[in-house]
A and B are shown apart, each in its own frame.
Chain A
Amino acid sequence: MTTLPRLPRPTAPTAPTAKDPCPCAEPARASGHPLLAIIGCPNVGKSVIFNRLTGAYVTVSNYPGTTVEVSRGHTTVGGCAVEVVDTPGMYALLPITEEEAVARRLLLEEHPRQVLHVVDAKNLQRMLPMTLQLLEADLPVTLALNMLDEAEELGFRFDAAELGRALGIPVLGTAGASGRGIAELRAALGAAMTARAECAEYNSAAPVCAEGDSATPVGGVCITYDARIERAVGAIIALIGRPAALAERALALLLLQGDAEIEALVAARASPAALAQVRAIVAETAAQFAQPLRIVIALRRQAVANDIIARTVQAPAEQQRPKLEWLSQLLMHPLAGLPVVALVLYFGIYQFVGMFGAGTLVGLLEENLFGGIINPWLTSVIEGWLPPLWSNLFVGEYGIFTLGITYAVAIVLPIVGLFFLVFSLMEDSGYLPRLAMLIDRIFKQIGLNGRAVIPLVLGFGCDTMATMTTRVLETRRERIIVTLLLALAIPCSAQSGVFLGMLSQVGPAALGIYVAVIVLIFLTVGLLAAKVLPGQRPHFYIELPPLRLPRISNVLVKTYTRLEWYFIEVLPLFILASVLLWLGSLTLQGGQLAFVPHAGLFGAIERALDPLAALIGLPTTADVAQNPALKFTGGTILLTGFFRRDFGAAGLADLFADGLLSPVQVVVSAVTFTLFLPCIAQFLVMKKERGLRTALGMAAFVLIISFGAGALLRVMLMATGWMGR
């Protein structure tokens, strides 16, 4: 066995000159800026540090070929412009979920100049093994011991300098939330990325591998595995060389742990014979251990980490209980926890989003601001400029400004914005995982586990966005069930805000019937889907982060980012809906093209939809002809509702406000439109995430259930005569 030479770090020791202040321009990267990749487990404060480093100008985009989002921004460290990327959470270099795979691919493919590994300082013991793994892979790492405030309060003391020497890399304590240590971090990153003298200290730290040790020294540490594993590693390295940007040793270890992606990478470069040999070595080595190799290797790495920690970290004498432990236990209590859920839903969603958002704010914005000031002014200006045919495109009954933008900004924005605010608060306080553990047992009955609570709760804000987050679920089966339930039984906030308002005015019975029917359908469909869909039930496990008082700035940034995303997604669709409604209302009048509502193509579609409208007792075109006060037919609401569910809801609210709907009509249509086909944006996301066939199948199913349930409910209510006719 030979001792592997330590590979030189890819640093460019060219001194900065006055003309070229950036000593680190990297021709390999398109942007010309070297890359700083922030990685670490979920919830350690990566995003907070990312925001501290980059400031406001950040782009969020899907990683190529995946649905995983990656944020990128720019900053200056050590007088040098760098690109910063915030990766999805990753527990280990051996990925399990798609998000982890993306984070690793980023490391493999984008050749970061520096990797900032962010860890939760109080959990250093379980996170340090990943630092070791990164070093094993020969990546240039800086370690940030974040959440230092929490760790110190628990009684931890860190010797960052000593830890840095032990690992051979810069180590800094930070508290991203308060900004502590960020300036030092920036300086250290600058030094590391521009390879100035300061970091020579670390680079030259002599490794301390014993004579004849086969392991690659990692900074100051030497991780040697069981002799049988070392033998296998040596043999694999001899076969494959270095086919990727990771060190051979790390690749060999990943292969031993059955990493399919790395195997594919090797398969692309090495000969089939070599690959077969590698497979044989892996199988042979695995057979020699009672436990899977990934566990044997992880245990060894942990032992090395423990050893380093023993020398550099002073842990509290006994296991500490977190600060708000009593509150945490209350939230998780099987009995006391439920009233808390009810309170959160009542005040957070019903009162704050429904009453304050959908009622007060929407009233102010829609009626006073848009209805009273902006739209009349725009109408007078535009009608002065354009003939009626064209002015109707912008400010008519279906005008881009008077309908599309007004609905988007005045109705949807305040409701969804407040919801995202509540959701971000729940997320940052650590409440969501506690809700997940409370609800897991019930969700098991409908083929889900507690984790599904996160997309489902988010669905009450925006079903479209929630459908995208079904990625946190681990099996395809769960993703399908949740996607279906979101499409069917979870009203988004804009919609539920409007319906709750209407129903509570009709009376508590109406509200009760509505909620009972929706819950019944949610559970029935969930139970059936769980029965019908094959697949194993996944285990439920979730980390419960300590309860924290959310930082307002962080919550606002998150809410803003979500809202921005939502708006970019929604606004074009609202405008498109206006344009299509306008186009559909064009008709020939006296040889001239004219804009006439309920005429033209759109009128024809409305008439075609009359049977469906009649089925649930909503006005048909015939009713509208008889009673001109009716602005919409059931068909109009259906059609507009497909552009946005909330759009349809707003139409119903309009009719209701004019006293044109009976109590039965209100309940039946609220049920039908809650269950009804998701809006087009959600349908597109369903197609993107689940495939066209599944999405179409779900849409058909939802259509049948919504109108079936609506019609049945109507028949029952009419037969009992309980709410009048």
Chain B
Amino acid sequence: MSHQHLSPEVEDYLEHLYMRQHEGYTGELPALSDRGMGELLRHHLAVLEDGGVTLTQDGLAKAERAVRRHRLAERLLHDVIDVHGRDVDHAACEFEHSLHHGVDEHICTLLGHPKTCPHGRAIPPGPCCREQKRAADAAIAPLSTMKKDERGTIAYLSSRQPETVQKLMALGALPGAAVHVIQLFPSVVFQVGQTQIAVDSALAGDIYVRRAGER
């Protein structure tokens, strides 16, 4: 993707096109000057069809990033700077346009890769979010795939039998509890708190653990 800067006017227009095409937005599109329209068409971001404007592939990608920047800006203003109400919209519209060159990635990481803006709309994930998810997936593994003597913290229990989950929790195997794998065969044995529990490998596959030493 090239680094040419679009004018704020065009970015806003793209955002609204995106929302209309992907989020069922039915309101007005912002006014766009002839210069702006020229910019849009020159960069092949949109085409004129049946008297309407439609995003191209390239335009869609640009629009998505613009939406992302806008909503990240909202999150930043709302969560960190504590701006509320209508002020968020205005300030975000000013702010978003300066979040280029990967600054949005830094903000996103700083905010912990938020999934929604303060209004509850989805923030399209950026490369940083996808990277984080991959890392998180690798760090969380079923207990059955861990090694003997490995340590970690229970992330979640995925068993479809709520009663089994309840029993495991009563034995201390709660999300957040530190675990220590003692043995893997013939049954998986692990320690949580001061309790040792033996489970079969199927159940051990339902206990997801955040391995120690990984983030």
Contacts and interface: CB of A to CB of B under 8 A. Distances in A.
B55 interface: no
A627 interface: no
A94 interface: yes
Q: Is the interface of B mostly helix, strand, loop or mixed?
A: mixed
B93 interface: no
Contacts of B166: 91-92, 94, 96, 294-295, 298
Contacts of A449: 200
Contacts of A543: 171, 195-197
Interface string B173-194: 0110010101101110101011
B203 A91 contact: no
A125 interface: yes
B194 A541 contact: no
B175 A299 contact: yes
Given A94-B166, A96-B166, A544 B189 contact: yes
A299 B170 CA distance: 11
B170 A319 contact: no
Interface in B128-177: 157, 159, 161-172, 174-175
Interface stretch (A134-142, A433-441, A567-575): A433-441
Question: How many of chain B's residues touch chain A, expressed as a range?
Answer: 35 or more
Contacts of A302: 169, 174
A539 B200 contact: yes
Looking at A437, A541, A546, the one whose CB has the most chain B CB atoms below 10 A away is: A541
Contacts of B196: 322, 328, 543-544, 546
B194 A539 contact: no
A118 to B, nearest CB: 15
Contacts of B163: 96
A540 interface: yes
Interface in A556-588: none
B37 interface: no
A326 to B, nearest CB: 12
Looking at B166, B175, B189, B194, the one whose CB has the most chain A CB atoms below 10 A away is: B194
B189 A437 contact: yes
Contacts of B180: 319
B198 interface: yes
B167 A91 contact: yes
B103 interface: no
Interface of B: 157, 159, 161-172, 174-175, 178, 180, 182-183, 185-187, 189, 191, 193-200, 202-203
Contacts of A123: 172, 193-195
Contacts of B161: 539
Contacts of B165: 292, 295
Given A541-B203, A542-B197, A544-B198, A440 B186 contact: yes
B198 A91 contact: no
Closest 7 CB pairs of A and B: A437-B198, A126-B172, A91-B170, A540-B200, A437-B187, A544-B196, A122-B194
Given A329-B183, A539-B200, A319 B191 contact: yes
A123 B196 CA distance: 11
A333 B202 CA distance: 20
Contacts of B168: 541
18 contacts: A91-B167, A94-B166, A96-B163, A123-B195, A292-B162, A302-B169, A328-B196, A329-B182, A332-B183, A440-B200, A539-B159, A539-B202, A540-B198, A543-B197, A544-B189, A544-B197, A544-B198, A546-B196
Interface string A531-556: 00000000111111010000000000
Nearest to B183: A332
B183 to A, nearest CB: 6
Contacts of A450: 187, 198, 200
A378 to B, nearest CB: 53
Contact of B189 (A126, A154, A332): A332
A179 B179 CA distance: 33
Given A540-B199, A541-B197, A544-B198, A437 B186 contact: yes
Given A334-B185, A449-B200, A298 B191 contact: no
Given A126-B193, A298-B166, A539 B199 contact: yes
Contact of B203 (A96, A151, A539): A539
Contact of A320 (B170, B189, B194): B194
B182 A126 contact: no
A96 B164 CA distance: 9
Contacts of A252: none
A186 interface: no
A395 B155 CA distance: 71
Contacts of B185: 334
Given A94-B166, A540-B198, A540-B203, 11 more contacts: A91-B170, A92-B170, A126-B171, A295-B165, A329-B182, A334-B185, A440-B198, A441-B187, A539-B159, A540-B199, A544-B189
Nearest to A293: B162
Given A91-B170, A320-B194, A294 B186 contact: no
Contact of A298 (B171, B174, B178, B195): B174
B170 A126 contact: yes
A444 interface: yes
A437 B159 CA distance: 20
A500 B163 CA distance: 43
Interface string A301-333: 010000000000000000110100000110011
A436 B194 CA distance: 20
